[in-house]
Chain A
Amino acid sequence: MAFLEIKNLHAGIGEKEIIKGLNLTIEKGEVHAIMGPNGSGKSTLSNIIAGHPAYTVYEGSILFKGKDLLSLSPDERANSGVFLAFQYPTELPGVGTALFLKTALNTKRKFLGEKELDAVQFMKRLKTRATALGITDEMLKRSVNVGFSGGEKKKIETFQMAFLEPDFCILDEMDSGLDIDALKVVSDGINVMREPHRSFLMITHYQRLLNYIRPDVVHIMVDGRIVRSGDMSLALYLEEKGYEDYR
């Protein structure tokens, strides 16, 4: 049984089809990268996996650890192990970051039948993960994603992922907006999470990220389909030639 198996997925907004017969299989422990031109449907695919209500699935299936993912609500998907680090994280004015993370973590633990963390255990876990990604106490006191720079938002997304320890991580353009040092910090943060029981789907426009986080498979997505899959050399080829051959 594959870890994630997407078969013949057709989906879109209203009548507008964006994903047009997409197939993708990811095994446990693998890191996959998706590259593709703007507007090819990469973010749409990640939103559909996470369960965004704006999108309709017309046809096809998504199995996650053998379960029908499409029949679950977004929160059930998250608690089953799916995490999406958004390309454009939503701002939540008035919702404090620390309390939000505590609620998210304890909800997941409850869902999995584990004991909720008390305040001390929670703070300890929060501090450890925050320090590793250069997130300050002051940032944790602010409202979720409010008033952060583009790069800081990306760091916070990665930090949430490290904190919640999902087993399927979708990273939508995690490298965009990060400076050179931050890219290294965030990549390190992701690399330490690479474990045999955890898989990654990384969406990126640049081969640079893949130098830090080596993918097992690279896919090219064009117009709602995966048109080519290969290894790292595919990313190198794209860097040189662009998408001309695939349009």
Chain B
Amino acid sequence: MKITGNIGFIRKNNVLSPLDLTGGELSFSVDQDETIQIYCLHLIGSLNIKVQLQKEGARCSLNCVYLSHQKTRKNLSFEVIHDEKQTSSEQIVRGILLDQSSMNFVGTIRIPSNSQKCVGTQNHRAVLLSDEASVSAIPELEIYADDVQCSHGSAVGPLDENALFYLQSRGIDKKHATQILLKAFLTDLMPNEIQTVIDEWMAEYV
């Protein structure tokens, strides 16, 4: 496969449409009771996405899968600003790293003091398939309101040895077993258009 750039989609009012990620910098503002969902497949370079939840009831969900191989170094930043009370946001990031690749993720959730009753969550998980690959995941939580719900979590590590062994003990070779577990790791995250590219990437590089 030829990797030409990052791939993005946005769902707004239940309509899914492509998102051009070529510039690497995108910002959105979300209106009253509006919901946006952003999906990106991060394959190269830097990607910064900023969302302002401007009015009450605004919601956003930022989802990213990053796939890294060889010596690629990437930066991803998600920044959500809860300008108004009762807004909610979610950041979900999943990564797979091979070879000597590295990733630097910064996830910001900012809730100013008058934005009460907001919900902001962030979850990052990455699988390292090589000892030489590395990830840094930094949550930047700037929470000044007291009546809010915020959570963040990050887990980075190799595939579970027992899971791999279980599949192998049923006759599936290590490479195929790895692909099965990685596919399960990314299950139901991305729209089909992106999932197909993920499958292609895995078939070629893993």
The answer to whether A84 touches B169, judged by C-beta atoms less than 8 angstroms apart, is yes
**Which residues 148-196 of B sit at the A interface, judged by CB distance below 8 A?**
160-163, 165-174, 176-177, 180-181, 183-185, 187
Nearest chain A CB to B189 CB, angstrom units: 10
- Which residues of the partner chain A approach B167 to less than 8 Å between Cβ atoms? 92, 95, 100
- Which residues of the partner chain A approach B169 to less than 8 Å between Cβ atoms? 50-51, 74-75, 77-78, 83-84
Any chain B CB within 8 A of the CB of A120? no
Nearest chain B CB to A24 CB, angstrom units: 20
The answer to whether A78 touches B166, judged by C-beta atoms less than 8 angstroms apart, is no
Any chain B CB within 8 A of the CB of A93? yes
User: Which residue of A75, A84, A95 contacts B173 across the interface (Cβ within 8 Å)?
Assistant: A75
- Which residues of the partner chain B approach A111 to less than 8 Å between Cβ atoms? 171
Fill in one digit per residue for B21-54: 1 if any A CB lies within 8 Å of its CB, else 0.
0000000000000000000000000000000000
> Quick one: which of A54, A74, A79, A83 has the most chain B CB within 10 A?
A74
The answer to whether A94 touches B176, judged by C-beta atoms less than 8 angstroms apart, is no
Chain B residues touching A, range: 20 to 34
Would A74 and B181 be within 8 Å (CB), given that A103-B172, A104-B172, A107-B171 are in contact?
no
Would A73 and B173 be within 8 Å (CB), given that A92-B181, A94-B187 are in contact?
yes
Nearest chain B CB to A59 CB, angstrom units: 23
Any chain B CB within 8 A of the CB of A134? no
User: Which residue of B166, B176, B185 contacts A103 across the interface (Cβ within 8 Å)?
Assistant: B176
Fill in one digit per residue for A23-50: 1 if any B CB lies within 8 Å of its CB, else 0.
0000000000000000000000000001
Main secondary structure of the interface of B (DSSP, over half): helix
- Which residues of the partner chain B approach A92 to less than 8 Å between Cβ atoms? 163, 166-167, 181, 184
Nearest chain A CB to B94 CB, angstrom units: 12
The answer to whether B168 touches A54, judged by C-beta atoms less than 8 angstroms apart, is no
Would A90 and B162 be within 8 Å (CB), given that A107-B172, A111-B171, A164-B171 are in contact?
yes
- Which residues of the partner chain A approach B172 to less than 8 Å between Cβ atoms? 75, 103-104, 107
Q: In the bound complex, how far is the Cα of B167 from the Cα of A54, in angstroms?
A: 15
Nearest chain A CB to B190 CB, angstrom units: 14
Would A160 and B170 be within 8 Å (CB), given that A54-B161, A92-B184 are in contact?
yes
Any chain B CB within 8 A of the CB of A219? no
The answer to whether A53 touches B161, judged by C-beta atoms less than 8 angstroms apart, is yes
* Nearest CB in chain B to that of A103: its residue: B172
Any chain B CB within 8 A of the CB of A127? no
Q: In the bound complex, how far is the Cα of B181 from the Cα of A143, in angstroms?
A: 12
**Which residues 78-110 of A sit at the B interface, judged by CB distance below 8 A?**
78-79, 83-84, 86, 89-90, 92-95, 100, 103-104, 107-108
For the complex with contacts A73-B173, A164-B171, 16 further pairs of A-B residues with Cβ separation under 8 Å are: A53-B161, A54-B161, A73-B174, A74-B169, A75-B169, A75-B173, A75-B174, A77-B169, A92-B181, A92-B184, A100-B170, A103-B180, A107-B176, A108-B171, A144-B166, A160-B170
Instruction: State the B residues within 8 Å of A (CB).
Output: 160-163, 165-174, 176-177, 180-181, 183-185, 187
Q: List 17 A-B contacts (CB under 8 A).
A: A53-B161, A54-B161, A73-B173, A74-B168, A75-B169, A75-B170, A79-B171, A90-B166, A92-B163, A92-B166, A92-B184, A93-B184, A94-B187, A100-B167, A103-B180, A107-B171, A107-B172
Instruction: State the A residues within 8 Å of B (CB).
Output: 50-54, 73-75, 77-79, 83-84, 86, 89-90, 92-95, 100, 103-104, 107-108, 111, 143-144, 160, 164
Q: Report, nearest first, the 6 A-B pairs whose CB atoms are least far apart.
A: A94-B184, A74-B168, A78-B171, A104-B170, A90-B166, A94-B187
